[in-house]
Amino acid sequence: MKFKHSLTAIVFIIMAGMIPICAMAEEKKEATAVSAPAAATIASETVAPAVVPVAAPAAAPANPAPVFNGADTAWMLISAALVLFMLPGLALFYGGMVRAKNVLSTMMHSFVVMGIVGVQWVVIGYTLSFGDDIGGGFLGKMNKFMLNGITPDTLFQFVATSANAIPEYIFVMFQGMFAIITIALISGAVAERIKFSAYCIFALVWTTLVYDPIAHWVWGPGGWLLGKGALDFAGGTVVHLSSGVSALALLIFLGKRHGFPTERMAPHNLPLTLLGVGILWFGWFGFNAGSAVAANGTAALAFVTTTIAPAAAGLSWMFAEWIHSGKPSALGFGSGVVAGLVGITPAAGLVTPGAAILLGACVGVVCYLAILVKAKLKYDDSLDAFGVHGVGGTFGAIATGVLATVGAKGLIAGEPKQVLTQIIAIVAAGAYAFIVTLIIAFILDKTIGLRVEKEDEIMGLDQTQHSESGYNM
Amino acid sequence: MKLIQAIIKPFKMDEVKDALNEIGIEGITISEVKGFGRQKGHTELYRGAEYVVDFIPKIKMEIAISDEQVTKVVETIQNAAKTGRIGDGKIFIIPLEEAIRIRTGETGSDAI
């Protein structure tokens, strides 16, 4: 008991110590932020007139023509591959947490979407998200159907005021990997009972009707949440909130696993899960630092925050569990790391390292509390897709509105309205994802059925859905 | 002849085996088993979901011996497998009707 008290004290001291560190870091940042744009203007003023002496001097520096940048291109090629690498990571993370009879089916949920969404994205997904706007920021037009009009020479300028550009093909693929991982995250909620055919159809329809529009709102040209100034650096709202909330909606029609919660449903192989955590973390550097869409200081900042927020979150979950239930579990630390990655995603390039520690430490505890509440409520989110991604994504999106100080202003930088904007984005994206998922789930349930037969569920999905078993010994 | 069946803690297996080797026992069969006695099971906690594990892993050793070896063997197992804490296991002594060495066809004490 004494030990527990001293642990609580240590955690509090660490948390309290972080506040001044954050404040200091922000002051310093502001000082550099002031000097950086000044230097930039000087550079453009001296160079621009020399290159184009006749052209209109006012328009040229504001929106320069895109110029191919090799460094950015190289980094984005790697980043896109890193994001795809998160899928085997997720497959291991989820696969280790189910019972041995469902390991392959659970891993397939992550793998098969590489196929389904991989094709969907090129055919229709990219244009729905990043085509020219229709409907006042609601959806992209069909002008990039089948990547129409994009050639190896097509350049993509991420920041209109910077000339640096990468081939659009790379941007297409980087964003495509995001679409793939998002649907795979949902599979955690439905593991061990969903019918494989229903899952495949759901993946295709959900990505088209839910993911693509929300990606357009937040990131697409003319997207309405982008226009409102909602901050989402690397997909807290688009990826984690939307998948977490949708997981919850899908559960309404899917129901609990047979035997839940009385039967023993312990993870069959936590070493796989921990390996998955490591691979996810590794891949997440592409996810977050790649979201700068450039090999620059913002990417470097995102890299830093993607290291320290999960580190703090792993510790805070571990300590919370240690204090609350007596033992620091390996699954707890791993879950904390993932919660930290989810939490820092919307904020990665927008907050100081100090703020990232604070954010990470909080999101670890918040998600731990969320899964405790789940255990009390007894709804069956098998692998906590909502508890970690829904709750962590929401917390991260709000925290971004509070803590953003780098290149954007949140509450602590004197912009309280940003928190409101974040909440509007959360409610809009969350409500849309929830309602549309509910409709898709209802239709699937009434037509082909979402669940496998009870007998098949008891035998295991590996055998009954795939005619294989994960372990033959 | 007797068949000695000893249920012991898994980490004690090597010690028991070495001790039995020392007193000249030449054949042991082991299996990984699960069960409970007075030690009962334990609880495991995964993300807030608590499971009671009733059956805990043990090692079952089977040794066929002649009648005069019984006291010595039982004593040896007991000494080697003992930790003094609950869950050390049990030794069962079962009468053994016949033993046959497959290769040579020897029977009785010659076969063990």
- State whether B48 and A371 contact (CB < 8 Å): yes
Q: Which domain holds residue A76?
A: 72-456
pLDDT at A63: 84
Which tokens is A202 given?
Answer: 């759901």
Whether A275 maps to a domain, the answer reads yes
**pLDDT band at residue A5 under the 50/70/90 scheme:** low
> How close does chain B come to A104, measured CA to CA in Å?
21
List the 128-187 stretch of A: residues with Cβ below 8 A of B. Answer: none
DSSP B105: -
For A262, name the nearest residue in chain B, comparing CA atoms only: B51
Q: Hey, what CATH class is B2-111 in?
A: alpha beta
Give the closest of A332, A335, A375 to B49, CB-based: A375
How many other β-carbons are positioned within 10 Å of the β-carbon of residue A126? Answer: 26
Whether A2 maps to a domain, the answer reads no
Mean pLDDT of A226-245: 95
Whether A58 maps to a domain, the answer reads no
Domain count across chain A: 1
Contacts of A327 in chain B (CB under 8 A): 45
Contacts of A384 in chain B (CB under 8 A): 47
**pLDDT band at residue A378 under the 50/70/90 scheme:** confident
Whether A3 maps to a domain, the answer reads no
- State whether B45 and A329 contact (CB < 8 Å): yes
Whether A415 shows a pLDDT value over 80: the answer reads: yes
Mean pLDDT of A189-212: 97
**pLDDT band at residue B20 under the 50/70/90 scheme:** very high
Domain ranges of chain B: 2-111
Angstrom CA distances, B40 to A75, A223, B35, B54, B55, stand at 57, 61, 9, 6, 8
Residue type, A441: A
> How close does chain B come to A417, measured CA to CA in Å?
36
List the single range of A52-56, A286-290, A386-390, B39-43 with lowest mean pLDDT: A52-56
* Test mutation, B32, B47, B54, chain A, max A CBs within 10 A: B47
d(CA B62, CA A235): 60
DSSP B79: H
Whether A406 maps to a domain, the answer reads yes
- State whether B44 and A266 contact (CB < 8 Å): yes
Whether A427 shows a pLDDT value over 70: the answer reads: yes
> How close does chain B come to A375, measured CA to CA in Å?
6
**pLDDT band at residue B1 under the 50/70/90 scheme:** very high
**pLDDT band at residue A61 under the 50/70/90 scheme:** low
d(CA A193, CA A455): 11
Which tokens is B97 given?
Answer: 């009707």
For A383, name the nearest residue in chain B, comparing CA atoms only: B47
Whether A47 maps to a domain, the answer reads no
> How close does chain B come to A467, measured CA to CA in Å?
29
**pLDDT band at residue A163 under the 50/70/90 scheme:** very high
Contacts of A374 in chain B (CB under 8 A): 48
DSSP B100: B
Give the closest of B46, B51, B53 to A331, CB-based: B46
For A261, name the nearest residue in chain B, comparing CA atoms only: B49
d(CA A272, CA A183): 21
> How close does chain A come to B45, measured CA to CA in Å?
8
The answer to whether the beta carbons of residues A291 and A72 sit under 8 Å apart is: no
Whether A47 shows a pLDDT value over 60: the answer reads: no
Contacts of A97 in chain B (CB under 8 A): 46
Give the closest of B44, B48, B53 to A375, CB-based: B48
Whether B47 shows a pLDDT value over 80: the answer reads: yes
Mean pLDDT of A179-187: 97
Whether A83 maps to a domain, the answer reads yes
Enclosing H/E stretch for B71: helix B70-81
A vs B: CB pairs below 8 A: 29
Q: Give the rounded distance of the alpha carbon of A253 from its chain centre.
A: 25
Measured between CB atoms, does A377 come within 8 Å of chain B? no
> How close does chain B come to A454, measured CA to CA in Å?
22
Find the CATH number of the domain harbouring A167: 1.10.3430.10
d(CA A267, CA B49): 11
More confident position, A184 or A32: A184
Whether B41 shows a pLDDT value over 50: the answer reads: yes
